[in-house]
Amino acid sequence: MNIVLTGAEGQLGFELQRALAPLGDVRALDRAACDLADADGLRERLRALEPAIIVNAAAYTAVDRAESDESAATAVNALAPGVIGEIAAAYGAPVLHFSTDYVFDGRLDRPYRETDAVEPQSVYGRTKLDGERSLAAANPRHWVLRTSWVVGARGGNFARTMLRLAAERESLRVVADQIGAPTSAALLADLGAHLLRQWQCRGDEGAAWGLYHATASGHTSWFEYARFVLAQARAAGRPLKAGPDDVHPITTAQYPTPARRPANSRLDCSRFERTFGLRLPPWQEGVGHVLRQIL
């Protein structure tokens, strides 16, 4: 069974190569092998591979840069999922696609459900939402997993940035009024593999196609997340100039960025847990595992 994986070079794509390996022949495509911004090239590459499953882990994730590079973000995040859905449908293949909490405005005082109104506040969020919709229009046999604050041992992410800055500076200032659930790339990869395995075993009747929220459980702020990372690093003997007590809280207004971030990135994952019979572990477990790999 040919499982085509896009975005293989990213932190999620790396973990998916591991998680999907027992399920079939994984054709892992990085950007050099398959540029999602090139719709015609994407079609040609996918047709050549004759996919039985397509897993799309590729995305334009430079949130701030997207504000001034909307055409590239649109091509990768909004249009490419529709192309992927189109080719998958032609081969009778389902699609697993990953999306984001940025489709919401972040103003609710509770975790967001799949049925809540979407109102992205950035180019990144808007293009990711458009990608969900273009995929759904092209191929009803799909799963979309919205997640948040992805972290892995490879690639760029918040935890690795905090470790780097703490090695360079004696104090750090981190936003404390944005909350969410740091979610490890390994967890997301394992969840995706579970969905595909269930489909392989039960067929379309057991596929439970659709949109789901999937993050680690619990929540924290970027400020407390930074303190957790540095505390774990100190406990592991990592030499740092700044420790957890040297992290100071600031507001979003004190750290302006080109793109607006949701103040509340919490996602209600009860539908996912109920549908697939899984328990989503606390965010500290995934982050701790990532940090052990890094440290």
Q: Which CATH superfamily is domain 2-157+181-218+265-280 in?
A: NAD(P)-binding Rossmann-like Domain (3.40.50.720)
Give the pLDDT score at 46: 97
Prediction pTM value: 0.96
Give 113-166 pLDDT, tens digit per residue: 999 999 999 999 999 999 999 999 999 999 999 999 999 998 889 999 999 999
- Per-residue pLDDT, 155: 85
- pLDDT, residue 6, reads 97
pLDDT at 206: 83
- Name which residue leads in pLDDT, 82 or 32: 82
Q: What is the pLDDT of residues 205-228, one digit of tens each?
A: 889 999 999 999 999 999 999 999
pLDDT digits (tens, 9 = 90+) for 54-65: 999 999 999 999
Domain boundaries, the chain: 2-157+181-218+265-280
pLDDT of amino acid 156: 87
How many whole angstroms separate alpha carbon 119 and alpha carbon 107? 10
Q: Which residues are bridge partners to 249 per DSSP?
A: 174
pLDDT at 19: 98
Rounded to the nearest 10°, the torsion over CA 103, 105, 108, 113 is -10
Kindly report, residue by residue over 151-198, the tens digit of the pLDDT: 999 888 999 999 999 999 999 999 999 999 999 999 999 999 999 999
Q: For position 215, what pLDDT does the model report?
A: 98
* Rg from Cα positions in the chain: 19
pLDDT tens across 222-278, in order?
A: 999 999 999 999 999 999 999 999 999 999 999 999 999 999 999 999 999 999 999
Antiparallel, parallel or unpaired: β 179-180 and 220-221:
antiparallel
Q: What is the mean pLDDT of residues 24-51?
A: 95
Half-sphere exposure of 41 (CA within 13 A, CB side): 11
As given in the structure block, the two tokens for residue 196 are: 């595909």
> Among all residues, which ones are annotated catalytic?
124
Can you give the length of the chain in residues? 295
